[in-house]
Structure 1
Amino acid sequence: MKMSADDKSLHKPRFCEGSIMRHVIVMAGTGTVGLMAVFIVDFLNLFYISTLGDPQFTAAIGFVNSIGFLQIAICIGMSIGTVVITARLIGARQHEKAGRMVTSFLMFMTVIMVILGGVMALFRRPILYHLGARGVELEQACHFVSIVSPFVFLIALGMVFSGLLRAVGDAKRSMNVTVIGALVAAFLDPLFILWFNMGLEGAAISTVCSRLAVAVSGFYCLRSYKLIIKPEWSTILKDSYRVLTISFPAILTNLATPVGGLFVVRTMSSFGSNAMSGQTAIDRIVPLAFAFVFALTGSVGPIISQNLGGGFRDRMHETLMVSLKLVFLCVLVAWIFFFCTENWVVKLFSLHAEGADLMRIFCRWVILGNLFLGMLFVANTAFNNLGYPLLSTAFNWGRATLGTIPFVWIGAAYGPKGVLIGQTIGVMPFGCVAVICAFMVIKRIKLEHPFQK
């Protein structure tokens, strides 16, 4: 079938030509706006809960986040596989095949996430209890999970739709999808939490509505690219298996972070609600402060994949170099800001005792450790998009186990501060070695496939 001029423009691999720096900045910049919108809402969500004046409510959010991070990690892994496959096929100008595989995997993924959400809701109480939640914290967290978890498939769909828009190079619409969801939550959060006095229940209802908005707007924005087509039932399992060869290692990779985080939460909870409040506030600040880094790792993947599919080897190396420079700049700016505003941040979250101490040491020095975390994220993105997903799995699990458990366990002997510092020190060697390996992988690809278009 002959394509029209408009179709050819839509199907063109945009990242195989032009300035790499420009592509990275545009993709990461628009991605940052979208993520910032989401993270600001999460930030305000915690702020609204903290204004209720009960540290147990704030601590409950921390326990809820632990389960939420596990679910989101799986969603991210699913989206990574879909984006990698789609970007490669577009780079190789195989758009029809990309549409068939996307449609097949969307159906498969939806079924899996509905089952997962139901299971997590069913076993929420024993899970939260083993994390250290007790009393009011346990009851509030259980109620939140029972509302949100059954609808986790919505955020999975939204993430895949947003990722596919990045895969085709439509950074603006990808940004708009997340911004729309954030605006819905920004409106409903204060309405339910404060105006209707529903507390965490209101935050849960707002979360579900926001995720529905992301899924619906993402589907609407993606329609013009013809990547969602009538399914071919006979190929659903075969196509899904191909995507899963990338998604499954990516899921394992992403699960490492929340699994390591579960150990940190369990350890920190032993020091009381004030310590948990401080840790929860830090966990909400990090995504907000480093939204550009998170957006960067999600944005450079399609750039690497399109150039791999198109045969442009040197552009992959340049993408990695540009990404690392931008990570360093972002961490430096964030450190300067929080170093100068630590007192304001402590007052903002109404932190006391151990919680205030944790926030102060984070703002002064611990925040710099996110440089190595950013390096690890960039390297993992390269591994996933260059066909070496098991390397990202190995590095992330190494960081979540060898780089977390012994350091946090030793640090716990010195109190909550020791836990925070131990967690930071553990990531440093893994970030450095991962980046070295990423450059080695690119060099190997150049040697094995020297053809350069």
Structure 2
Amino acid sequence: MSNHSSFEPTRTPPPASGPPRPERGKFTRGSTMRHILVMSGSSGIGLMAVFLVDFADLYFLGLLGEIEVAAAIGYAGSVLFFTVALGVALSIAATALVSPALGAGKKPRARRRAINALIFAVGAASVLSLVLWLSVPVLLGWLGAEDRAFELASSYLRIVLVATPLLVVGMNCAALLRSVGDAKRAMYVTLSGAIINGLLDPLFIFALGLGVDGAAIASALARTTMALVGLYGVVLVHGLLAYPKPSRFWPDALTIAGVAAPVALTNLATPIANAYVTSSMAPFGVSAVAGWAVLSRLIPVSFAGIFALSGAIGPVLGQNLGAREYARLRHAFLNGVIVVLIYALAVWAILASFHEYIAHAFNARGDAVRVIAFFCVWLSPGFGVLGLLFMSNAAFNNLGRPHYATILNWGRATLGTMLPVSIASQYFGPYGVLAGQVLGGMSFGIIAATACYLYICSLERAAHSAPAPEPAPAE
């Protein structure tokens, strides 16, 4: 048994004799806390850069002086969340398939799964982007967009949606780089896109006078950059993509779909919940929706570390699952919980102190100012607790139990979002919308973390009593 007084297990050294074991992944040795912090830190820098560019989009567009512009970006963001959710789902599926193979020292299997996962991802993203592109008017109508805000959101989405497959390529390449333990190059993927977007935004929006369309073009070019940088690291640096063979794709596609489908279903719950929040804000006016649009950009920037942890902990767990290091799974998960809670408290202190500056920076007025202040001062620590759900979902996806994450995330989207939002908004207006969303999410964060920890403990007990079959997806 490992030492339960520490969050790091003591490993038994391998026997000196016998045939040499295949080289296993780097996360199967060393401090799990260090692995989590290094992976989360590098991933967080890249994510922070992307979210800051989104934040900058809203800032630059806000300088145009139209409140409808901020509302339009809020509506468009609710639609684009579907594409991001799919990209995250497919990248998680790639990690769940590739990292256990690397942990077990089976790189040929990892290379085959990597190329087939990437092909699968491009196909799925192309279909989704086409469906959304054709459905833009209907979707914006459901969200409550009208008049000028409707026109601006439509124009923005028509451009950005075309580049969705490139975004998914970049996200999947970053996931593959994290699976092999190359946190630095995974960071370069998102960081390069953010830099290109940040440089082109003011050029297209102001210098060329393209406004909202200019922001959309800059985003599309940034996504192209992400795909190119990601493919360079995966193909030329690590040689992690095997030559595609149609005869091997279809058998693997079933395995990929078995992971990707529940993961995609899991991640689609979040944009649906966010879309419900946006539509619930609409009856309270354009100013309230504009405040929510600012928060929808502020939250990813502020909690980038938690989002990064959700992506970073997967390879750590996956490699140790493949190596059957079950005690390390438990220690890694506990360390993740500690990081989430400490990070949430730190973000709360910052947002509560600077909420007035945030509202002023985005020319917020009326209800927008009050909505921003209410979240920053009273609700932001609750979003940190919700981060336990994101981390637990990532853990379940990489431990071969993606349907657990599906149940939890849809529970949060319905019982944890729609129900409390619909009730609280009737009594407390736009403040009730935010409070219902956060408080409902907190409860599911606690439930998810508890369930995941108990499942990992069951794997560890089984490993001590009898050889346990690998719970990862079948070959």
2:321 matched to 1:308?
Answer: yes
1:447, distance to aligned residue in structure 2 (A) = 2.5
Of 320-329 and 96-105, more deviation after overlay is shown by: 96-105
Map Cα deviations across residues 141-161 of structure 1 (whole Å, 9 max, x no partner): 111111111221001110000
Matched AA of 1:79: S
Q: Are the aligned partners of 1:399 and 1:426 in contact in 2 as well (CA < 8 Å)?
A: yes
2 CA distance for matches of 1:244 and 1:108?
Answer: 8
2 CA distance for matches of 1:424 and 1:66?
Answer: 17
Q: Give 2:231's aligned residue.
A: 219
Q: Are the aligned partners of 1:101 and 1:240 in contact in 2 as well (CA < 8 Å)?
A: no
Matched AA of 1:90: L
2:439 matched to 1:425?
Answer: yes
Counterparts of 1:155-234 in structure 2, within 5 Å, are: 155-223=167-235, 224-234=237-247
Q: Give 1:28's aligned residue.
A: 40
Q: Are the aligned partners of 2:95 and 2:398 in contact in 1 as well (CA < 8 Å)?
A: no
Counterparts of 1:256-267 in structure 2, within 5 Å, are: 256-267=269-280
Q: Give 1:448's aligned residue.
A: 462
Q: Give 1:15's aligned residue.
A: 27
For 2:363, what is the secondary structure of its paired residue? Answer: coil
Q: Give 1:5's aligned residue.
A: none
Map Cα deviations across residues 387-418 of structure 1 (whole Å, 9 max, x no partner): 11111100100000011112111121121111
Matched AA of 1:429: S
Matched AA of 2:451: C
Map Cα deviations across residues 346-402 of structure 1 (whole Å, 9 max, x no partner): 101111111110011111111011122111111111111111111110010000001
For 2:149, what is the secondary structure of its paired residue? Answer: helix
Counterparts of 1:364-375 in structure 2, within 5 Å, are: 364-375=377-388
1 CA distance for matches of 2:35 and 2:124?
Answer: 34
Q: Are the aligned partners of 2:174 and 2:230 in contact in 1 as well (CA < 8 Å)?
A: yes
Match of 1:98 among 110, 122, 130: 110
Counterparts of 1:57-96 in structure 2, within 5 Å, are: 57-96=69-108
Counterparts of 1:29-428 in structure 2, within 5 Å, are: 29-223=41-235, 224-413=237-426, 414-428=428-442
For 1:30, what is the secondary structure of its paired residue? Answer: helix
Q: Are the aligned partners of 1:31 and 1:299 in contact in 2 as well (CA < 8 Å)?
A: yes
1:83, distance to aligned residue in structure 2 (A) = 0.8
TM-score under structure 1 length normalisation? 0.96
Q: Are the aligned partners of 2:303 and 2:384 in contact in 1 as well (CA < 8 Å)?
A: no
Map Cα deviations across residues 208-266 of structure 1 (whole Å, 9 max, x no partner): 10000000000001122222121111111111211221111111111111101111111
Matched AA of 2:435: I
2 CA distance for matches of 1:150 and 1:196?
Answer: 21
For 1:97, what is the secondary structure of its paired residue? Answer: helix
2 CA distance for matches of 1:344 and 1:151?
Answer: 34
2 CA distance for matches of 1:18 and 1:108?
Answer: 34
Q: 1:11 to 1:46 in 2, by over 3 A?
A: farther
Q: Are the aligned partners of 1:407 and 1:426 in contact in 2 as well (CA < 8 Å)?
A: yes
2 CA distance for matches of 1:13 and 1:280?
Answer: 41
Q: Are the aligned partners of 1:11 and 1:168 in contact in 2 as well (CA < 8 Å)?
A: no
2 CA distance for matches of 1:446 and 1:214?
Answer: 39
Of 210-219 and 188-197, more deviation after overlay is shown by: 188-197
Q: Are the aligned partners of 1:31 and 1:174 in contact in 2 as well (CA < 8 Å)?
A: yes
Matched AA of 1:295: A
2 CA distance for matches of 1:381 and 1:267?
Answer: 29
1:11, distance to aligned residue in structure 2 (A) = 6.4
| Superposition misfits of 4+ residues, deviation over 4 angstroms | none
1 CA distance for matches of 2:123 and 2:354?
Answer: 46
Matched AA of 1:185: N
For 1:228, what is the secondary structure of its paired residue? Answer: coil
1:12, distance to aligned residue in structure 2 (A) = 4.3
Q: Give 2:14's aligned residue.
A: none
Q: 1:11 to 1:132 in 2, by over 3 A?
A: farther
1:326, distance to aligned residue in structure 2 (A) = 0.7
Q: Are the aligned partners of 2:416 and 2:444 in contact in 1 as well (CA < 8 Å)?
A: yes
Q: Are the aligned partners of 1:147 and 1:204 in contact in 2 as well (CA < 8 Å)?
A: yes
Map Cα deviations across residues 266-301 of structure 1 (whole Å, 9 max, x no partner): 110111110011001011011101111110110010
For 1:249, what is the secondary structure of its paired residue? Answer: helix
For 2:338, what is the secondary structure of its paired residue? Answer: helix
Q: Give 1:3's aligned residue.
A: none
TM-score under structure 2 length normalisation? 0.91
The alignment of Structure 1 onto Structure 2 pairs a total of residues equal to: 444
1:109, distance to aligned residue in structure 2 (A) = 2.3
1 CA distance for matches of 2:337 and 2:290?
Answer: 32
Q: 1:299 to 1:293 in 2, by over 3 A?
A: same
Matched AA of 2:37: I
CA RMSD of aligned residues (A): 1.4
1 CA distance for matches of 2:189 and 2:84?
Answer: 17
1 CA distance for matches of 2:451 and 2:242?
Answer: 38
For 2:30, what is the secondary structure of its paired residue? Answer: coil
Map Cα deviations across residues 67-102 of structure 1 (whole Å, 9 max, x no partner): 110111011111111111100000111111111122
For 2:241, what is the secondary structure of its paired residue? Answer: coil
Map Cα deviations across residues 332-354 of structure 1 (whole Å, 9 max, x no partner): 11111111112111101111111
Matched AA of 1:211: R
Gaps of 5+ in 2: 1-19, 469-475
1 CA distance for matches of 2:273 and 2:398?
Answer: 24
Matched AA of 2:444: F
